[in-house]
Chains A and B, each alone.
Chain A
Amino acid sequence: MTTHTYLGSPERTYLLRGVSVLGGEPRDLLLGAGQLLDPADAPGDAVTVDGDGLVALPGLVDLHTHLREPGREDAETVHTGSRAAAAGGFTAVHAMANTDPVADTAGVVEQVYNLGRDAGYCDVRPVGAVTVGLGGQRLAELGAMAHSAARVRVFSDDGSCVSDAVLMRRALEYVKAFDGVIAQHSQEPRLTESAQMNEGVMSGVLGLTGWPAVAEEAIIARDCLLAGHVGSRLHVCHVSTAGSVELIRWAKGKGWAVTAEVTPHHLLLTDELVATYDPLYKVNPPLRTAEDVAALRTGLADGTIDCVATDHAPHPTEDKECEWGAAAMGMLGLETALSVVQHTMVDTGLLDWAEVADRMSVRPAAIGRVLTQGQPLQVGAAAHVTLVDPSAVRTVEATESQSLSRNNPYRGLELPGRVVATFLRGRATVLDGKLQ
């Protein structure tokens, strides 16, 4: 491609000067016509971005986002959620299926896909429900969703667990036909009836019904065995316990196609926070202990856990401004994910920036089969780029958010790092730290 092919393009060309690609030596990146181009071909009218001190990553990919539309547009919409995603450095998000109506048909996933495309802030990849209405009884039309315009590859009943072993086995087998993956919300339902928080010392003291680690681990163990047995792809959502990390390590050692994600909040927060009885800290799976947090960090560092996924879960104020038992589960995550990862993994020496790119872009894109994303930042690749300033420090303000909701558990915390720019196919969705 020569300079002439994009000179007349209505799209701007961006020259990112002296950025540290994956934390390496400073060099220039040229973004034009949706692609990474040879910086030597930079046209005179290219918009120059001073990249001094900035780290360039491939655009971040989130495997686990709740955009709430259709159904709960008071909490979030595809538009606002994808703005939050862009602000957080994401160029692709997977929109979970637990909407109303549930994303269990080609019609609903196409609706979400189209809303994402119209919003234009990131690629919105709908996740299809595994079972009709998340009911756990019958398989949804997985093939129809896979072959819809939304090209669904990730299927999940997230929010509910596909607890029926036969149904889970069939789902794992069935999606092999179109290279799909079942993303399981691992929660044994009987062991977690009315569960409110991690079962342990804190739940005993606080008098809140416990959500034991074994309820997660029992399902993960079973699902790994099933995935191994039928030779299918299993993805474990929001791993939260030390025992789960061990099980996934064991399954990977067997050579089974098991992948896993961890949320930023499980990398940082512990169940001690529940002593405030502030529902801001109510989430599913629940915040666990400091030992679990340490095991999750180790698992993410050594690659046992493949990626970070936000489980961004917006809730309107009234669903959190109440007593613990009545409150909804979930917390925001898109706009703070990279900062939390820098704080817990980079600044602690557990991951370098190349590994952050691997865990937050390359691997999630591969798991979700997001073809143009998570690619190396080299000439010819689609221009999905995130620029982060690791030296910035900010005190998190709940009100400074693109999300419609304010259930931010990090409010008041000082966190490192700031997303300076996000480029989706060469178009700036964030520039100078401001949403475009």
Chain B
Amino acid sequence: MRRHLLSSADLTRDDALQVLDTAEELRSLADRPIKKLPTLRGRTVVNLFFEDSTRTRISFEAAAKRLSADVINFSAKGSSVSKGESLKDTALTLEAMGADAVVIRHGSSGAPHRLATSGWVRSSVVNAGDGTHEHPTQALLDAFTLRRHLGDLAGRRITIVGDVLHSRVARSNALLLATLGAEVTLVAPPTLLPVGVSAWPVQTSYDLDSALDKCDAVMMLRVQHERMNAAFFPSAREYSRRYGLDDRRFDRLPDHAIVMHPGPMNRGMEISATVADSTRSVIVEQVTNGVAVRMAVLYLLLSGSDAARPGTEEAVL
């Protein structure tokens, strides 16, 4: 694996499988009485969050702590940090603290890339969501969850529904799932598909119903409130009718198909409450898997791909 994880595009098929396999081993740790590994003892992981996202931050924090890393949470939201000069100053501060990895969430697309390539820091940079660009660890945990239910993803049909244009989850998932050999279909009203999507390694459709019959998993994306009054669709009700996963559509899914959502959900909007709470919804499991996948990412970035696998004797020295 490379030094940074900025985009799903950074991951080859082998890289991605290595993360997923490592995460699988680490997840078994959750069932052990002692949940901590000493692997990253003495290493410092900084959670640098320019945007509020308690669930992602907690997930990374738990992952780092279970690997015995020191964790510094640096929340820049609401402080004087709002413009880019401060990104540099913040980076220099982190460098001075001796951060080994910086987990960054930022509202501006490309900010993690900038942090990694500007020469301001020497640490590894993990993109924990940047603007409307990418969220690669979310895609990894989604792939991890999918694999647990469906096995090898090659040839599997995954339908991703909703605001693709503004979704970093959709971008990262489309790239990663395609790398893993899945057939991805993006379903959205034409206003919410990016110009140029035809160059992506996916199929697209404007019609949800036609994309349900044969799919192995359907991933519903959150619709942000600010889209509602910007003419992307006429009304929340019409969106829900045309693109929501309601009980009727849920019944049409193949029996083995699972339902995913990166959260937080708008129940009654893109997903009905019954569907969200059904046994085939893996939404809660996604959260659990998130910790294992982020442990794997931090482990592989910080200990190098040549290092011993966690869980083995060498790793617990």
Contacts and interface: CB of A to CB of B under 8 A. Distances in A.
B33 to A, nearest CB: 43
Contacts of A8: none
Interface range on chain A (Cβ under 8 Å from partner): 20 to 34
Contacts of A325: 107-111, 131
Given A318-B85, A321-B84, A326-B84, A206 B109 contact: yes
B32 interface: no
A200 B200 CA distance: 12
A293 to B, nearest CB: 18
Contact of B195 (A204, A207, A276, A323): A204
B57 interface: no
Contact of A322 (B83, B107, B194, B199): B83
Contacts of A278: 114, 117
Contact of B110 (A199, A318, A324): A324
Nearest to B113: A277
Contacts of A431: none
A201 B199 CA distance: 7
Contacts of B196: 199-205
Nearest to B170: A207
A209 B200 CA distance: 17
B308 interface: no
A286 to B, nearest CB: 13
A424 B12 CA distance: 59
A325 B87 CA distance: 12
Contacts of B199: 201, 204-205
B168 A207 contact: yes
Contacts of A204: 194-197, 199-200
B186 to A, nearest CB: 11
Contacts, number: 89
B84 A207 contact: no
Interface string B181-203: 00000000000001111011000
Contact of B87 (A200, A209, A322): A322
B84 A327 contact: yes
Contacts of B118: 321
A294 interface: no
A210 interface: yes
A203 B195 contact: yes
A207 B109 contact: yes
Nearest to A201: B196
B188 to A, nearest CB: 13
Contact of A206 (B84, B85, B107, B110): B110
A431 B118 CA distance: 37
B100 interface: no
B88 A207 contact: no
A24 to B, nearest CB: 47
Contacts of B18: none
Interface string B132-146: 111000000000000
Nearest to A209: B132
B171 interface: yes
B222 interface: no
Interface string B96-113: 000000000011111101
Given A203-B196, A204-B195, A207-B133, A322 B113 contact: no
Contact of B106 (A208, A279, A323): A323
Interface in B63-100: 83-85, 87-88
Contacts of B194: 203-204, 210
16 contacts: A201-B199, A203-B194, A204-B196, A204-B199, A205-B199, A206-B109, A207-B131, A208-B131, A210-B195, A321-B84, A321-B88, A323-B110, A323-B111, A324-B109, A325-B107, A327-B84
Q: Which 10 A-B pairs have the closest CB atoms?
A: A322-B84, A207-B133, A277-B110, A204-B194, A201-B196, A325-B108, A326-B84, A204-B196, A207-B132, A207-B109
Given A321-B118, A325-B110, 9 more contacts: A199-B195, A200-B195, A201-B196, A201-B199, A203-B194, A207-B131, A208-B132, A322-B84, A323-B111
